[in-house]
Homo-oligomer: A and B are copies of this chain.
Amino acid sequence: MEKKGILLVVSGFSGAGKGTLMKELLRRHDNYALSVSATTRAPREGEEEGREYFFKTREEFEQMIAKGQLIEYASYVGNYYGTPRAYVEEQLFKGRDVVLEIEIQGARKVKERFPDTVLLFVSPPSAKELRRRLTERGTESREVIENRLKRAVEEAQGIEDYDYFVINDDLNACVEHVHQIVQCERSRTGRSREQIQSIREELKTFSK
What residues make up the interface of A, taking CB atoms closer than 8 Å to B? 121, 123, 126-128, 130-131, 146, 149-150, 152-153, 156-157, 159-167, 177, 180-181, 183-185, 187-189, 192-193, 195-196, 199-200, 202-207
Contact = CB atoms under 8 A, between A and B. Distances in A.
A189 B206 contact: no
A156 B205 CA distance: 13
A205 B202 CA distance: 60
A127 B202 contact: yes
A172 to B, nearest CB: 15
Contact of A196 (B153, B160, B185): B160
Question: Which of A150, A156, A166 neighbours the largest number of chain B CB atoms within 10 Å of its CB?
Answer: A156
A147 to B, nearest CB: 9
Contacts of A181: 184, 187
Contacts of A161: 189
Contact of A207 (B123, B153, B185, B195): B153
A163 B189 contact: yes
A35 B188 CA distance: 24
Contact of A160 (B128, B187, B189, B205): B189
Contact of A127 (B123, B164, B206): B206
Contacts of A159: 189, 196, 200
A195 B164 CA distance: 12
Given A127-B206, A156-B199, A202-B128, A165 B192 contact: yes
Contacts of A163: 188-189
A157 to B, nearest CB: 8
Nearest to A123: B199
Nearest to A151: B207
A130 to B, nearest CB: 8
B200 A156 contact: yes
